[in-house]
Amino acid sequence: MSFSRRRVAAITVKELRDYRHNRFVIGTMAFLPLLFIILPIVQLLIAPAVAASPELTDRVGLSLLYMLVIPAVVPSTLAAYSVVGEREQGTLEPVLITPIRPEEFLVGKALAVAAPTITIAYAMFGIFLAAAKLFASPVVSSAVFAGSHVLVQLLFTPLLAGWSIWVGIAISARSSDIRAAQQLSILASLPPLAIIALMQFKVITPSTGLALALAVALLIVDTLGWRAVAAIFDRERLITGTRG
């Protein structure tokens, strides 16, 4: 039997249906992005309206960085919940009794996290851009839209989300406590963001080459993550660890 898209879809659809009624998920998806969009917008609004100062560049850079926290952190909390959450609800065993393969289960879970969280991240970025255009001073606003800022942001949003999702699911598959899994996942979602921050603040000399290398590295993790997580997915431990 080969990889079944139908089984992947069954998991994803089930998961999305479950989100609608899950207060924790709704809360995470509504509250965290709002929290993380306030700071960057405030940064923009109070930025000095002096043309092309280094301080302005820093401010804009910082607010764009804040915007990347959303695709890094929001998916990681949901991904951390995905396996250990089902285990705690007692719904994992019935699923693992079906012919499903770990890869199918994991990809289904990842898509269910990716779809809403990437949508939300883009929506928040849209709101951020609109706020820059409408409310920030023209100098600040043009600094936001200058160069490849927007493009980089659009590119790194799904790449970072992918990293956070796979790392979060991996942690979820190996831990036995939801809260511990979430804290660990949030921490683990930060390293790529930290590299971007170091470039942003010129600790590492920013270059297109470096940015591309990071993007490619993330892309590899995102597309092959399911294999790595499937390898550490231990059906037996997940089943027998649920006792009690």
Contact residues: ligand ATP, CB under 6 A: 240, 243
User: Which residue lies nearer to ligand ATP by CB, 208 or 240?
Assistant: 240
Cβ-proximal residues to 208 (8 Å cutoff; 6+ apart), any chain? none
Residue 17: burial class (beta carbons within 10 Å; 0-12, 13-18, 19+):
exposed
Q: Is-contact 56 143, C-beta < 8 A? A: yes
User: How far apart are CB 18 and other proteins at their closest, in Å?
Assistant: 5
User: How far apart are CB 73 and ligand ATP at their closest, in Å?
Assistant: 34
Check residue 230 for interaction with other proteins (CB under 8 A): no
User: Which residue lies nearer to other proteins by CB, 13 or 224?
Assistant: 13
User: How far apart are CB 13 and other proteins at their closest, in Å?
Assistant: 7
User: How far apart are CB 233 and ligand ATP at their closest, in Å?
Assistant: 17
C-alpha 22 chain-centroid distance: 19
Q: Is-contact 167 189, C-beta < 8 A? A: yes
What are the backbone angles phi and psi of residue 241, rounded to the nearest 5°? Answer: -75, -10
C-alpha 24 chain-centroid distance: 17
User: Which residue lies nearer to other proteins by CB, 98 or 119?
Assistant: 98
User: Which residue lies nearer to other proteins by CB, 45 or 239?
Assistant: 239
Check residue 239 for interaction with other proteins (CB under 8 A): yes
What are the backbone angles phi and psi of residue 114, rounded to the nearest 5°? Answer: -65, -45
Identify residues 55-114 at the interface with other proteins (CB under 8 A): 89-101
Helices 149-174 and 138-145, packing angle to 10 deg:
60
Check residue 22 for interaction with other proteins (CB under 8 A): yes
What is the contact surface with other proteins in residues (CB under 8 A)? 1, 4, 6-7, 9-11, 13-14, 17-18, 20-22, 89-101, 235-236, 239-240
